[in-house]
Amino acid sequence: MQNSSLANKVAYITGGSKGIGFGTAKVLLELGMRVAISSRSLASAQKAAEQLSADSTRILAIQSDVVNETDEFAAVESVVNKFGQLDVLVANAGVGHFAAIDELSSAQWKETIDTNLTGVFNSVKASIDALKKSEGYIITIASLAGTNFFETASAYNASKFGLVGFTQAIMLDLRKYGIKVATIMPGSVSTNFNNHVPNDADAWKIQPEDIGELVADLLKMNPRTLPSKIEVRPARTSGK
């Protein structure tokens, strides 16, 4: 069902070919928005776009690696060229490497920080000019790992702690332009993250569309309000 306040607005979702990004794209399209999704693989983005909508005027598949600043500027340019505007950036792309610090490789550390933190910086920098024009919204997908540390997660914790701090700081920077900024911090979500294969036993977990609905709720709120940091977790601790 379309929402009149969101109809024809434009969202760019990084890492939109699967998981939270795909679920969010699905929800926003159902509300009447136009959506661009990116992936490091163009084939993956195109396949996801075909699954999301048969209307090519409302969906755009983009190849972009958020670690590459040039890719992200080109991606935003593609969004604006196709749709004429950009109203929402959902910075969702992320990776996770989990190992004790004595076993964590430099390459794993670098990929985690580059993707989960610097990648969001690149997406935001590429989007700011367009979002100033639309007085739009930036939503970053962090994690409860952005406030809760645990074993084998030094790289992931560092990236998500950093992302939460980065998001809250730019929220203060960008309010004067009418740009709203929020971070969503999910707990366990049923996705392919860290090589997990979603299955029936995941029914107790947050589903990707649940995060999409939370994104939509933020966008539909009265423009004078700004929930800038949202923690969300499963209502139960297991499938029992």
pLDDT at 188: 73
Residues in Cβ contact with 46 at an 8 Å cutoff, skipping those fewer than 6 apart: 61
pTM of the model: 0.94
Residue that has been written with the tokens 């009265």 in this structure: 222
Residue that has been written with the tokens 């700081």 in this structure: 169
**Is residue 144 exposed (0-12), middle (13-18) or buried (19+ Cβ within 10 Å)?**
middle
Q: What is the pLDDT of residues 85-126, one digit of tens each?
A: 999 999 999 999 999 999 999 999 999 999 999 999 999 999
Catalytic sites, residue numbers: 156
pLDDT at 38: 98
Q: What is the pLDDT of residues 156-170, one digit of tens each?
A: 999 999 999 999 999
**Is residue 211 exposed (0-12), middle (13-18) or buried (19+ Cβ within 10 Å)?**
buried
pLDDT at 53: 95
Determine the Cα–Cα distance for residues 16 and 60; give it in Å rounded to an integer.
11
Residue 206 is encoded by which pair of tokens?
Answer: 């947050």
How far is residue 22 CA from its own chain's centroid?
10
Walk me through the domains of the chain, giving residue ranges and CATH numbers.
10-232 (3.40.50.720)
Residues in Cβ contact with 150 at an 8 Å cutoff, skipping those fewer than 6 apart: 157
